């Protein structure tokens, strides 16, 4: 076993990665030299050198865990990534692909022919094959499916038929089931006949003749109990289980709360069709966490750090366009008050303060609401409570910091009325921010949208326009 | 086992929660009526009613999993929460506290006397006691510690001595260790003598006479192998393990990557002192994920949805003050150009667009960098690559959307020079946003700060000031 696998601390892995990247980059430079210059003795040496390094690299990669290889691939620029991918042994490529993030996975799969992909995934379980294929375009997916063994094809198709985000789409198909009238002794003998148990198994699933879920028998119950007893007497008769149609998020919540390690998955007839292992749950939590802060600023959850610039630029267009539009609206709000600004130019300097404070405090409220929604803590009662609380906070902070700003304005411009107008504007815009901060994520969710997606962009649009409007309108009424 | 435990879907739990909240709220109203009016026959009935409901509630709570009770407590307003907490059986309170979030936990512990807390936690493992005590003030903690059994005291103190965020502070102290020259048969006998295994155990830890880690024996290896063999021949000799001083984040990463279920923890002499179970890792990931989007907007990771308004308002002061200060600086930037704004008031209306686009795109870059840092994907090579990529994106989007804005400006104000100035300003401010978006989280991290904390507030401060400056300065040079 490799050093990296023995001690998994960042420092180690970091060093291995930097080494590999160093080797790869040097190689790229040398290959570049070879291709640019005339073929000469020196180039042959360079080529030999490059080949030696390739061998060293292949060995190094061979010692790493598939997850570590995936980690390194994700961190490499595309050209060097190609080289590194070529050095991974074909029989390990499937396992590496499983650990790779969506963007890099698509890049790697995009460069392979259907036969190649089929050859690579053949070593995997059918649920894992389905997971990989679900990232591909329909045409490419069918092409790969056609190259698989008949049995695999059927299983993969059945997993693919479950919608994204459902328990069915994340479950493992391999589980061990036993009957409840068996003796533990017999179960132990049965296990010893297996070469290997499915990964992360901590329980056997107890089913009746027709495959209906009857209970689970954990390995420690099995080990601790008298072998003479039957499964029925020691099993857990009412285990936590999921239907294939349940939401992955619900399963994640249950695993978090009840400290589960695996749970059976059943179809509508309550027949066991698979199980969820805890590592799939860990991956789901991780993916959700990673994507959240990206989605809040209007980026899709997965973005390849090294995707082509033009592609990444395009990804940002929809929200940029929306941002430009809302900023333009805010600008027209100001435009409507141009006459007043000319009379009192201090307004132009002061108005962004009102907008900015609203934006920042509103984003705090948005973050709290999104967390509340994610934790399912916002029922109708809590919502009313939260609404009035955020208004209370806005009132205190608006009064306090509005006054501070009023004093600063007075010191700077020596105008009592102006100071009063800005102080009141801050208070009013904090109320707007509190309301918008609660309502924007809720409204997005109410209309079946992701409450996180772009919520911060939308909030700012609102607090900007309203901030300018409140301040300039008050100024128009009381100052000019 | 209760219905709620049998099927853990939100709908069920939701209903239970709403029921309980309904009961509790009605109760609160009735209690209120009783206390306000004169004692009369009607009040006695109301009181009786309230008592009956209390019994119903206590039964209901008794059927729920501790995690579900915690979930309900978190969602309740403080006064009603008190009532519900009083109905939880004393021997289950420790388990409930363990599942409660930091803010609510502090509220509950704050209302209890040291003897009460000691009585409640006595049923827990010492690492769990330490976890709870770590949330308390030093004085209160010592008072509770003094009330515990001598053995518990020593163990709790040893766990408390590990710094927050270290593996030592999150580990479980109870594990099963065996010697490598034992036969599997003997191990099986040993296990059968135990009444219960530590929770979520999937492996036995193999140590030498002095307690040094030699390997691990997974339960499935134990079950699948011939009982005549020795532990040495079937164990995993180089398992993933952690030092007490390792960072929790590193352990989390290792669990995610290598699909671990538990791992031994050793001291500096490589003697086994505990283990990390996967459920602790799941909790750590969840806590990290929940706090991230809050920290980005300058809120502390844990905020009680129903903490008193004044307290919550105060929590937001430091960042509000910073926000006010930076907004004021931006305002002074504008103030420096007041003369020009008076001459061309369109500038006042257009300048927030430049600032707003910079803020939103900069926040996208911040989100990407923070994710890269969290995944440890940003080595020096990747950083350079990312920097140039973000500049590339800024260039494309700046040129494109700057032109769009230029055209809109031209249509509105019929001034070619003004249109050109705003187009160029957008491009320049997107460059500023790209640079600030990469540098702000990196700088925070370089100086040992949390790269997430307030990054979005800082970024906006930068892009606002620079946006105003670039636009107004260009206008001053080319337009007036």
Could you give the ipTM of this predicted complex? 0.71
**A74 neighbourhood in chain B, CB within 8 Å:** 375, 377
Render the burial of A404-421: b for 16+ CB within 10 Å, e for the rest. bbbebbbebbeeeebbbb
What is the domain partition of chain B in residue ranges? Answer: 3-168, 177-286, 316-478
Q: What is the gyration radius of the CA atoms in chain A, in angstroms?
A: 30
**A196 neighbourhood in chain B, CB within 8 Å:** 220, 224
For tokens 């931006």, name the residue. B330
Would the CB atoms of A404 and B196 count as touching at under 8 Å? no
Q: Quick one: B372 exposed, middle or buried, by C-beta within 10 A (0-12, 13-18, 19+)?
A: buried
pLDDT at B36: 43
How crowded is residue B110: how many other Cβ atoms within 10 Å of its Cβ? Answer: 10
Would the CB atoms of B67 and A258 count as touching at under 8 Å? yes
| In this structure, CATH architecture of domain A3-166 | Alpha Horseshoe (1.25)
pLDDT at B34: 44
Instruction: Give the whole-angstrom CA distance, residue B433 versus residue B454.
Output: 16
**A240 neighbourhood in chain B, CB within 8 Å:** 5-6, 8
Q: Residues A122-174: pLDDT tens digits?
A: 888 888 888 888 888 888 888 888 888 888 888 888 888 898 889 998 898 88
Give percent of chain A above pLDDT 70: 87
Among B200, B310, B316, B361, the residue to mutate for chain A (most A Cβ within 10 A): B316
| In this structure, CATH architecture of domain A316-478 | Orthogonal Bundle (1.10)
Q: Residues B403-460: pLDDT tens digits?
A: 999 999 999 999 999 999 999 999 999 999 999 999 999 998 888 887 777 888 889 9
Taking the CA of residue A302 and the nearest CA in chain B, the distance in Å comes to: 10
Q: Which CATH class is domain B177-286?
A: alpha beta
**A199 neighbourhood in chain B, CB within 8 Å:** 259
pLDDT at A200: 66
- Domain B3-168 fold is MgtE N-terminal fold (1.25.60)
Instruction: Give the whole-angstrom CA distance, residue B184 versus residue B226.
Output: 8
The β-bridge relationship of strands B262-266 and B272-277 is antiparallel
Nearest-CB residue to B202 (from A202, A282, A305) = A202
Q: Give the residues of chain B that fall short of pLDDT 70.
A: 1-18, 21, 23-50, 199-200, 300-306, 376-377
Q: Which CATH class is domain A177-285?
A: alpha beta
Q: Give the residues of chain A that fall short of pLDDT 50.
A: 1-11, 32-39
Instruction: Give the whole-angstrom CA distance, residue B35 versus residue B50.
Output: 13
pLDDT at A34: 44
Does A3-166 match A316-478 in CATH topology? no
Q: Quick one: A216 exposed, middle or buried, by C-beta within 10 A (0-12, 13-18, 19+)?
A: buried
In contact, A177 and A272? CB cutoff 8 Å: yes
């Amino acid at each position: 076993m490799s050093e990296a696998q023995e001690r998994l601390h960042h420092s180690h892995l970091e060093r291995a990665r930097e080494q590999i990247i160093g080797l790869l980059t040097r190689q790229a430079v040398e290959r570049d030299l070879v291709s640019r210059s005339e073929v000469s003795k020196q180039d042959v040496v360079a080529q030999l050198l490059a080949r030696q390094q390739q061998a060293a690299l292949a060995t190094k990669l061979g010692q790493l865990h598939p997850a570590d290889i995936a980690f390194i691939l994700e961190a490499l620029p595309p050209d060097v990534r190609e080289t590194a991918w070529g050095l991974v042994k074909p029989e390990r490529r499937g396992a590496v692909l499983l650990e790779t993030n969506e963007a890099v996975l698509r890049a790697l799969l995009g460069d392979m022919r259907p036969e190649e992909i089929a050859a690579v995934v053949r070593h995997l379980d059918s649920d894992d094959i389905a997971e990989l294929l679900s990232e591909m375009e329909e045409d490419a997916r069918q092409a790969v499916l056609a190259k698989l063994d008949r049995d695999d094809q059927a299983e993969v198709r059945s997993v693919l038929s479950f919608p994204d985000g459902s328990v069915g789409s994340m479950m493992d198909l391999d589980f061990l089931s036993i009957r409840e009238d068996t003796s533990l002794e017999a179960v132990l003998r049965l296990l010893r006949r297996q070469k290997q148990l499915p990964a992360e198994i901590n329980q056997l699933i107890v089913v009746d003749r027709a495959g209906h879920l009857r209970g689970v028998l954990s390995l420690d119950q099995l080990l601790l109990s008298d072998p003479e007893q039957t499964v029925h007497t020691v099993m857990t008769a009412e285990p936590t289980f999921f239907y294939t149609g349940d939401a992955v998020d619900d399963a994640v919540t249950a695993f978090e709360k009840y400290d589960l390690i695996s749970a059976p998955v059943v179809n509508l007839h309550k027949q066991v069709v698979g199980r969820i292992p805890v590592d799939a749950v860990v991956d789901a939590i991780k993916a959700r966490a990673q994507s959240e802060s990206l989605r809040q600023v209007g980026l899709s959850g997965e973005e390849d750090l090294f995707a082509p610039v033009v592609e990444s630029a395009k990804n940002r267009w929809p929200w940029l366009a929306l941002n430009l539009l809302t900023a333009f609206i805010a600008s027209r709000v100001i435009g409507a008050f141009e006459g007043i600004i000319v009379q009192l130019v201090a307004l132009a300097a002061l108005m962004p303060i009102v907008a900015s404070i609203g934006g920042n405090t509103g984003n705090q409220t948005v973050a709290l609401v999104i967390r509340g929604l994610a934790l399912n803590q916002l029922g109708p009662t809590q919502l009313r409570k939260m609404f009035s609380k955020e208004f209370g906070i806005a009132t205190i902070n608006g009064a306090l910091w509005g006054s501070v700003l009023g004093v600063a304005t007075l010191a700077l411009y020596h105008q009592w009325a102006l100071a009063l107008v800005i102080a009141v504007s801050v208070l009013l815009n904090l109320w707007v921010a509190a309301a918008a901060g609660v309502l924007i994520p809720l409204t997005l969710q109410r209309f079946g949208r992701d409450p996180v997606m772009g919520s911060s962009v939308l909030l700012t649009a609102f607090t900007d326009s309203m901030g300018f409007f409140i301040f300039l309108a008050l100024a128009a009424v009381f100052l000019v």
